[in-house]
């Protein structure tokens, strides 16, 4: 798995791990991340699956544990808890250093995997000081405190075994301990920061547009609405050109760029348009400059075009991501179209004929980067997000670099 090396932090309660982690997150914003753990317990009020935990059942989780897909796991109060390899990989795929806060047994479990993290142990200077820290919290019963102290004795002893940790930090002085923690992580921190700067520089010219194509009824509009809802401030639409007259309320430059046939035809002949068509005696088209206007704002320009439009764009230097959204079958598509109850029989037959052509041509090698068969909306949406993930990450990164905000609900 590519990405920064994870960091395993271990040590007894009261040693200062949480304080040191907070200092890291404060000073290195956008460098570290946390994996989402799995558990078999039921969600508590307000907890969100995939955000607070990946909620699972014992049978499925135990099967994954037996298959070796977990890097560490434990059982508390009759429920399994664990960290899967995939949850760590998700953090690394976003270019972040994944922090794993585990006990000494978790360290031993991770040692048996191919994760290759940086192992850091945070220890108190002595049992006496640790006990004072825990008592000063005034949050423990005597029984709980004694359990923590006993666990700490074992932890402090095992942490000195050769080869278990890359660095053992005795937290006698918080600032000195923090300096040591930074020193052992600085190489990975620098790599992450450099990579983010390089990515920002590479996308300043604007993110790649996205060409989405597919027959009416395949679910393009629904999928686009979900994208725009979940990734606010990430996508934009170009303003098309037309030679028809403005309708009441339409604004030039907002609804369309209104022009005359002579001027638009001249620009088409010059190659200034990436796709054009004619309806009812009027020209319609998308100009390169209209797409560039969206890209200049740091947004991913969405182009919803038919398959002929895809072929036209292929002849330009636009270099978008090409996505085809297709129904599972012509029968399912017909059922969807009839279910709308908005089409005449003649219109339905016309759409179905166009769809047959679209469904056949979309499988031409090299025409699309991905063909998504929309049989299940959630699965189709996951695939759409997956193919756009890198570009969306770049937009969010660039806006953060520029001090702007993207509202991200799911990613």
Cβ contacts of residue 246 below 8 Å, gap of 6+?
Answer: 252, 255, 256, 258
Catalytic residue among 5, 26, 41, 44: 44
Same domain, 179 and 216: no
Same domain, 193 and 217: no
Task: Flag the least confident range among 78-87, 247-256, 322-331, 337-346.
Answer: 337-346
Same domain, 220 and 286: yes
Asked whether residue 191 is assigned to any structural domain, the reply reads yes
Asked whether residue 359 is assigned to any structural domain, the reply reads yes
pLDDT level of residue 258 (50, 70, 90 thresholds): very high
Write down the pLDDT at residue 359: 92
Residue linked to tokens 């590479």: 202
Same domain, 95 and 156: yes
* 137 classed as catalytic: yes
CATH number at residue 218: 3.40.50.300
Distance in angstroms (rounded) separating the CA atoms of residues 386 and 258: 36
Asked whether residue 301 is assigned to any structural domain, the reply reads yes
Same domain, 172 and 262: no
Structural domains of the chain, count: 2
Same domain, 350 and 243: yes
Does the pLDDT value for residue 101 go beyond 80? Answer: yes
Distance in angstroms (rounded) separating the CA atoms of residues 360 and 358: 5
Same domain, 48 and 195: yes
pLDDT level of residue 410 (50, 70, 90 thresholds): very low
Same domain, 71 and 177: yes
Catalytic residue among 137, 153, 261, 340: 137
Quick: pLDDT tens for 196-243: 777 655 555 678 899 999 988 898 889 999 999 999 889 998 888 999
Quick: pLDDT tens for 314-343: 888 888 999 999 999 999 888 888 887 877
Quick: pLDDT tens for 295-318: 888 899 999 888 888 998 888 888
Domain end point (choices 155, 170, 203): 203
Same domain, 210 and 97: no
**Residues 116-131, mean pLDDT to the nearest whole number:** 92
**Residues 394-406, mean pLDDT to the nearest whole number:** 66
Domain end point (choices 156, 182, 203): 203
Write down the pLDDT at residue 376: 93
Asked whether residue 408 is assigned to any structural domain, the reply reads no
140: domain range? 7-203
- Mean pLDDT of all residues belonging to the chain: 88
Asked whether residue 210 is assigned to any structural domain, the reply reads yes
* 261 classed as catalytic: no
Catalytic residue among 5, 26, 58, 148: 148
Q: Are 238 and 297 in contact (CB under 8 A)?
A: no
pLDDT level of residue 70 (50, 70, 90 thresholds): very high
Asked whether residue 2 is assigned to any structural domain, the reply reads no
pLDDT level of residue 409 (50, 70, 90 thresholds): very low
Quick: pLDDT tens for 1-38: 578 999 999 999 889 998 999 999 999 988 999 888 89
Same domain, 169 and 106: yes
Tokens coding 236: 């934009």
Same domain, 249 and 308: yes
Domain end point (choices 170, 203, 236): 203
Q: Tell me what percent of the residues of the chain surpass a pLDDT of 90.
A: 44
Cα–Cα distances (Å) from 386 to 209, 263, 311, 407, 411, in that order, read 15, 41, 24, 18, 9
Of residues 117, 98, 97, the one with CA closest to residue 107: 117
Same domain, 183 and 72: yes
Give strand pairing partners of 335.
none
């Amino acid at each position: 798995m590519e990405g920064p090396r994870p960091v395993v932090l271990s040590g007894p309660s009261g040693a200062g791990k949480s304080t040191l982690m907070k200092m890291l997150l404060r000073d290195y914003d956008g460098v570290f991340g946390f994996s989402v753990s799995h558990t078999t317990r039921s969600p508590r009020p307000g907890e969100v699956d995939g955000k607070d935990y990946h909620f699972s059942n014992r049978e499925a989780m135990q099967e994954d544990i037996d298959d070796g897909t977990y890097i560490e796991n434990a059982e508390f109060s009759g429920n399994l808890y664990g960290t899967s390899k995939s949850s760590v990989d998700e953090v690394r795929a976003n270019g972040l250093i994944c922090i794993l806060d585990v006990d000494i047994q978790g360290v031993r479990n991770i040692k048996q995997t191919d994760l290759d993290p940086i192992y850091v142990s945070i220890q108190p200077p002595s049992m006496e000081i640790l006990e004072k820290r825990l008592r000063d919290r005034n949050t423990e019963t005597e029984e709980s405190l004694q359990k923590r102290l006993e666990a700490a004795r074992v932890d402090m002893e095992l942490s000195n075994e050769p080869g278990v940790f890359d660095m053992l930090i005795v937290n006698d002085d918080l600032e000195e301990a923090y300096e040591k923690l930074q020193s052992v992580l600085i190489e990975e921190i620098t790599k992450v920061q450099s990579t983010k700067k390089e990515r920002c520089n590479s996308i300043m010219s604007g993110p790649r547009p996205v060409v989405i194509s597919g027959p009416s009824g395949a679910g393009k509009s629904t999928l686009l609405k979900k994208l725009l809802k979940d990734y606010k401030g990430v996508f934009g639409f170009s303003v098309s050109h037309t030679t028809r007259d403005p309708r009441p309320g339409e604004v030039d430059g907002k609804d369309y760029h209104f022009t005359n046939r002579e001027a638009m035809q001249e620009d088409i002949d010059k190659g200034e348009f990436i796709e054009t068509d004619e309806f009812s005696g009027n020209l319609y088209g998308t100009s390169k400059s209209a797409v560039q206007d969206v890209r200049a704002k740091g947004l991913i320009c969405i182009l919803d075009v038919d398959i002929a439009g895809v072929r036209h764009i292929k002849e330009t230097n636009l270099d978008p991501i090409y996505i085809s959204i297709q129904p599972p079958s012509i029968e399912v598509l017909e059922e969807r179209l009839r279910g709308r109850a908005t089409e005449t029989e003649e219109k339905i037959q016309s759409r179905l004929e166009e769809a047959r052509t679209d469904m056949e041509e979309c499988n031409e090698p090299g025409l699309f980067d991905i063909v998504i068969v929309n049989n299940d909306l959630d699965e189709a949406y996951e695939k759409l997000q997956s193919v756009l993930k890198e570009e969306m990450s770049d937009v969010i990164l660039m806006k953060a670099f520029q001090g702007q905000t993207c509202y991200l609900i799911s990613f």
